Amino acid sequence: MSRIPEKTRDELPAEAQAIWDRIQAGKSGGSSPYGILIYTPTMADHLSSVENYFRHNGTLNTRDKEIVILTASRDLGARFPWSRHEIRARREGVRPEAIEALRVNESLDALTEHEHLIVDATRSLLHERRLSDELFSQVSAELGPERLVELVGLVCHYNMISSVANVFDLEPPEGTTTF
């Protein structure tokens, strides 16, 4: 149970209902951090636009995006986004071995070099708020500047989504396995 009740469309004034409708148009339904974020409708609207950029217009390939999101969710202990994105990761072809390595949060030996690099960059951004010169060079060579900038933005966005999920105790959907 969330620490504050998630808002529903019917509880919102008309102008916020229009924002709700825009946000929900891009969602798969059910609970989400936006049920909390809608307490501040304009902020929720802007954050949803950023999320839609990553989902529909980003330059990172979908597998890399899902690895970033799973890594951020796992490292930040955010079970709700993990549950939603594990499903997406599987659908997008992220290798089951990679998902399981992230879930158990132990050895990354099962990851490919590319996957390992994405995980290392994500973790470095989450924990040190930077990339060492060596890691920056490796990620930049692998992704190029545009996708590197996008990776940084995606990590920051899911840091925020994970924080909302954690602060407000958003539970993953019933029957899902997390960590």
First-residue to last-residue Cα distance in the chain: 18
The domain 62-167: what is its CATH number?
1.20.1290.10
* H-only helix segments in the chain: 14-25, 34-37, 41-52, 62-75, 79-91, 96-104, 113-127, 133-167
pTM (2 decimals)?
0.94
Domain ranges of the chain: 9-57, 62-167
Q: What is the pLDDT along the chain (179 residues), one digit of tens a residue?
A: 789 999 999 999 999 999 999 998 867 656 689 999 999 999 999 999 999 999 999 999 999 999 999 999 999 999 999 999 999 999 999 999 999 999 999 899 999 999 999 999 999 999 999 999 999 999 999 999 999 999 999 999 999 999 999 999 999 988 888 99
Cα-based angle 134, 125, 109 (whole degrees, multiple of 5): 70
Alpha carbons 106 and 112: distance in angstroms, whole number = 15
